[in-house]
Structure formats: structure tokens, C-alpha cells
Amino acid sequence: MANDTLNTSYAVNLSTVYRRLPLLERAAAARADGFTEVESWWDFDNAAPDHEEMEAYIRTLKEQSLKLIAINSYGGNRRIGETGIASLPDRADEFRKSIASVKRVFALTGARKSNVAFGVRDLRWSQAEQLETGRLQYDWAARDMAELGATILIEPLSGMKDGSYPFVDGYDVRDFIEHDLGKPTNVKLLFDTYHLAVAGLDVVKAWSDLHDVVGHVQFADFPGRGAPGSGRLDFAALEAAMASDGYEGKAVLEYM
């Protein structure tokens, strides 16, 4: 990451690019690499971490003059394969606590975007029950975030073509936003180049089809989920399309 143009043109994900560092050392590493804007996964162990833990992390961002632009909401225990809790009826209260925690981060940092994961298929409930629970939770979260001018992001995830996760290619996210949620203005697609490429999409064409509903962009190459230029995705063509369509946000480097 020695290229100054790259560093000033992109934001970076602290949880992927600096994942091998302790949580409280990642901000300094990103600043040393020349970045000024960052995003993060939810790197706390629960939906409602104590204030001291959260503030210690946020203090590292402020000490490095880093602007946090987006953070995931709590998505459950990643170590056992949980990918979101929005659609799980028995975790509705936990989900709402997670949104309250995100709002605390927003208040402390000025960030206004949160990636909120749906949750994998759970056979204790029917698909229809999980879909309705997820719909109600996203609808509630969107309304709760609207007072802050904040945006809920929904990300398609690769490797879930077995039906265990409902969103794999971006088009399904668009359909959910438009048809199930009634197209709220503050629920948007997270356009992740790696996940879309794994789904078999041409990312430039996908951008052309989906850009109207995109609220955030993440870059990682394919195959391998490495830095742009390590695989075969045409980022120059994608960035030209993004500029042509008037995308004003930053692309975030979210490679491993």
C-alpha cells in the first residue's frame, strides 16, 4: 500500500486488511499506510458491548484522525458460522440491541452506514417465517436509522448457493428491497466485487444493472479475494462505469 493515489482514493476495511493485528492496533497500521477513511466489521463479541470496550476502539480511530464511514452490525458468532440474526425470531431482542449499539458508534464517530446481515437458514422455522421476520426487522431498523440520516446495507454473500442464505448475487437484494420492503430510501445494496464474481457475474454489467440501488462499494479481486490487480477483475472498467453513473462514495478495499 505504498501508492499515495491509491490510499487517498480508497478507504480500507480494518477487519480484513489488518485482520492479523490486535483490534486496537489496526487504526495505526491503516494510518501508516496512508489511509484516512476506514470501515469495519463488528469486531466485538456480542450485540451490546460495554461502553469502555467500544470507546477504547473508537479512541484508536480518533487518535489516528481516521474517519469511520461504515460498520457491520452484530451478526452472531462467526466462529460457528452465524451470518446475521435479523431473520431469527428467537433473537429479535438481540437484533434490536445490535442496532442500538450501531447507533452508539454512529453518535461517537459520525459514521452513517451499517451492513446488516440477514441470517442463514434455520430449520426451526419455515422459509416464509424467516423471510417475514427479516422483513419486519429491516423495516424497523430502516425507520429507526432514518432519524439519523443513516443507511442500512444488505450484502450478497458468496458460497451460499445451497439456499442457506437468501442473497447471493445482488439482484435478489434489489428484489427484496423493492418488493418486500417497499423500496425505502435508506436501505441499499452493498456492492462487493468478490462476492458478485463468485456468484458468476460480470461485475461491470452487474454495476450497470444495479447501480440505482447501490449504497456502498467494496473491492477485492477474484479469484482469491486479494488486492485489486491480484486476480482477473477489470477494476478500471468498473471504476469508469461508477464515475459515469455518478457514484460519489469511496470504494473500500476489503481484501484478505
Q: How many domains does the chain have?
A: 1
Q: Which CATH number fits the domain that encloses residue 13? A: 3.20.20.150
pLDDT tens, position by position, 174-205: 999 999 999 999 999 999 999 999 999 999 99
pLDDT at residue 5 tops 50 = no
Quick check: is 82 catalytic? no
Catalytic residue among 52, 55, 239, 254: 254
If you write DSSP's letter for every residue of the chain in order, what string do you get?
---HHHHHHEEEEHHHHTTTS-GGGHHHHHHHTT--EEEE---SSSSS--HHHHHHHHHHHHHTTPEEEEEEPP-S-GGGT--B-TT-GGGHHHHHHHHHHHHHHHHHH---EEE--B----TTS-HHHHHHHHHHHHHHHHHHHHTTT-EEEE---TT-TTTTSS-SSSHHHHHIIIIIS---TTEEEEEEHHHHHHTT--HHHHHHHHGGGEEEEEE--TTTS-STTSSS--HHHHHHHHHHTT--SPEEE---
Quote the domain boundaries for residue 181: 4-253
Nearest to 220 by CA among 228, 211, 232, 230: 228
Share of the chain above pLDDT 90, in %: 93
Average pLDDT over residues 47-70: 97
- At residue 7, the pLDDT reads 54
> What amino acid is encoded at 202 in this protein?
D
pLDDT tens, position by position, 17-42: 999 999 999 999 999 999 999 999 99
- At residue 4, the pLDDT reads 42
The overall average pLDDT reported for the chain is: 95
CA 217 to chain centre: 9
pLDDT tens, position by position, 113-143: 999 999 999 999 999 999 999 999 999 999 9
- At residue 8, the pLDDT reads 53
Quick check: is 155 catalytic? yes
Catalytic residue among 52, 53, 155, 239: 155
Q: Please, which pLDDT band fits residue 2 given cuts at 50, 70 and 90?
A: very low
pLDDT tens, position by position, 151-176: 999 999 987 767 799 999 999 999 99
pLDDT at residue 1 tops 80 = no
- Report d(CA 35, CA 2) in Å as an integer: 10
